[in-house]
Amino acid sequence: MEIIERTIKSEKVYSGKILSVKLSTVELPDQKYSKREIVLHDNAVAVVAIHDDKILLVKQYRISVDKIIYEVPAGMIEHDENPKDAALRELEEETGYRAKNIEYLTEFYSTPGFCTEKLSIFYAKDLEFVGQNLDEGENLEVVEMPLEETMSMIESGEIMDGKTISSILFYDKFSRGK
């Protein structure tokens, strides 16, 4: 049996600063119909940055979950910007560190059940502090943490951000020491 859904019609029902939402009517493989709500979100980057054998994390309050959480430096790719340049820019803006070496690790969809966002993950090393340049309204604290402590925080559930967990585990499994 074919598993593809065919879009019959689609309309944008919301347009905001960083995302839009469209409501689509789809025909299912069994020829029945259903509705799909899709969040249209620009692609983004995340960076596993290593400084003095420690991972740089940002600690910030996220109103959507009403918690202070730990995340790897990350942000959206700007129009006409390539992912590598976005990763370098976000790392510097959020942490104040400029990377002399940055490598592409992987990419994945953050939540493909309802969102178009694709994340490109990078590994940065040989960092030089040049000064933080946060976006307006951005409030965060930079934390340097040994990989082992970061892994313990993932295991205990203290780190709950999906991109951070995926990025660090991917780095540890496939890139560390290469």
Closest CA to 120 of 74, 162, 165: 74
Structure confidence at residue 136 (pLDDT): 85
**Beta-bridge mates of residue 86:** none
Closest CA to 33 of 3, 64, 5: 5
Report the catalytic residues.
136
Query: How does pLDDT run along the chain (178 residues), one tens digit per residue?
Result: 689 999 999 999 999 999 999 999 999 999 999 999 999 999 999 999 999 999 999 999 999 999 999 999 999 999 999 999 999 999 999 999 999 999 999 999 999 999 999 999 999 999 999 999 888 888 999 999 999 999 999 999 999 999 999 999 999 998 776 6
Q: Which phi and psi (to 5°) does residue 130 adopt?
A: -125, -5
pTM above 0.75, yes or no: yes
